[in-house]
A = this chain, B = another copy of it.
Amino acid sequence: MKNISIIGGSGYSGAELLRLLAKRDDIAVKQVIAHTYAGTVISDLYPDLYGRMDSVFEPIDALSNDGVDLIFLAVPSGEAMDIIPKYIGESVRVIDLGGDLRLSSPEAYERYYGKPHSNPGLLDESVYGLPEIYRNDIAAARLIANPGCYPTSVILPLYPLLREGVIGSSGIVINSLSGTSGAGRKAVLDLSFSEVNENVRAYRITDHQHIPEMRTVLDNASGRRVSFSFVPHLLPLTRGIYTTIHAPAEESVDERKLNEIYSDYYGSEPFVRLVPRIPRIKDVAGTNYCDIHCTVQRETGQVILLSVIDNILKGAAGQAVQNMNIMFSLPETRGLL
């Protein structure tokens, strides 16, 4: 039995962690911190958990890391970097679901997140928690930066092809479509049903904060500077991300070759499925899968990659539990199938 605590249990990712962990008999949830809701019964906020998670949210002052094996942080970006140093320890590992630890340079953090990083040392220590690429590092890590939802859907299809050099490293165009839960549990007019339903809009078309996170991993895959353009869109959809990527194909590439590469990289991955048909969000909603499909467009010389994930699961809480399973040397799929 492992003991975990959650800081930031009142958002959508925190609630999904609670749902995933409530089903486990090998994991005990010791404390759930949510400062705005301190004193509120968890199942009052998330009535679907009624009868299964009826303890109260606690203030952060009440957090004890005695006997705790791992702390999940699911707090707004900018808060984790100040909280982590207080609670992390030899035996207390941390998985941060926010953006504070995902970049390698404090400069990039400041540029994309709009404020200086208060603990740049954490950037060096943390491991990027994408198991399909960094599984071994994750197993040994004390501090995990759980990937963003868009980057998960972008990196998984692009990484093997850039690494093998079968697509060009510039001229890559990425369009992503996201459900509203990706924006978090917020009282914001632009996220209200009346504004989102029967509507679509692109946003942050040049400077989304997930761009540097993608770039770091993709540059590393390619061994060169990867030039890509990323446009996210908000849809009338609660959960899910649909990513459509156009990348210039190297000359001799065909679908068979691409599928071989994917098979080499992901053939034994439990949560990446190479699918023969055009994927749909519905195929992965409520699951920890990332479905990937590729096509080579002869006329334009473009490779078209389509990938789908559930943004709250493979894009957040599901991937965090996958990382936890790895860190605790448990079967990686436990509680996720």
**Does chain B have a CB within 8 A of A60?**
no
**Does chain B have a CB within 8 A of A252?**
no
- Docked Cα-Cα span, A332 to B107, in Å, equals 54
**Does chain B have a CB within 8 A of A27?**
no
Q: Would you call B188 and A47 a contact (CB within 8 A)?
A: no
- Docked Cα-Cα span, A239 to B200, in Å, equals 10
Give A8-23 interface residues, CB cut-off 8 Å to B.
12, 23
Residues of A within 8 A of B (CB-CB), count: 75
List, in ascending order, chain B residues with CB within 8 A of A26's CB. Answer: none
- Docked Cα-Cα span, A291 to B52, in Å, equals 14
Closest-by-CB residue of B relative to A44 is B277
Q: Would you call B192 and A188 a contact (CB within 8 A)?
A: yes
Residue of B202, B273, B286, B295 near A51 (CB, 8 A) is B273
A273 to B: closest C-beta gap in Å: 6
Q: Mark A48-92, 1 if CB is under 8 A from B, else 0.
A: 101110000000000000000000000000000000000000000
Closest-by-CB residue of B relative to A201 is B280
A170 to B: closest C-beta gap in Å: 8
- Docked Cα-Cα span, A50 to B198, in Å, equals 19
| Known pairs A180-B192, A189-B186; A198 contacts B237 (CB<8 A) | yes
Interface centre among A170, A185, A188, A206, by most chain B C-beta atoms within 10 angstroms, is A206
Q: Would you call A48 and B284 a contact (CB within 8 A)?
A: yes
Residue of B202, B228, B304 near A205 (CB, 8 A) is B304
- Docked Cα-Cα span, A114 to B139, in Å, equals 54
Chain A interface (Cβ < 8 Å from any Cβ of B): 12, 23, 44, 47-48, 50-52, 170-171, 173, 175, 177, 179-181, 183, 185-189, 191-203, 205-206, 227-229, 231, 233, 235-240, 242, 244, 246, 248, 273, 275, 277-287, 291, 295, 297, 299-300, 302, 304, 306, 308, 337
What 6 pairs across the A-B complex have the smallest Cβ distances? A193-B196, A47-B283, A199-B282, A201-B280, A180-B193, A173-B173
In the complex, 20 of the A-B residue pairs with CB atoms within 8 angstroms, ordered by the A residue number, are: A47-B277, A47-B280, A48-B282, A48-B284, A50-B291, A177-B200, A185-B194, A186-B192, A192-B193, A193-B195, A193-B196, A197-B236, A197-B237, A198-B198, A199-B240, A200-B240, A201-B278, A201-B279, A201-B280, A233-B244
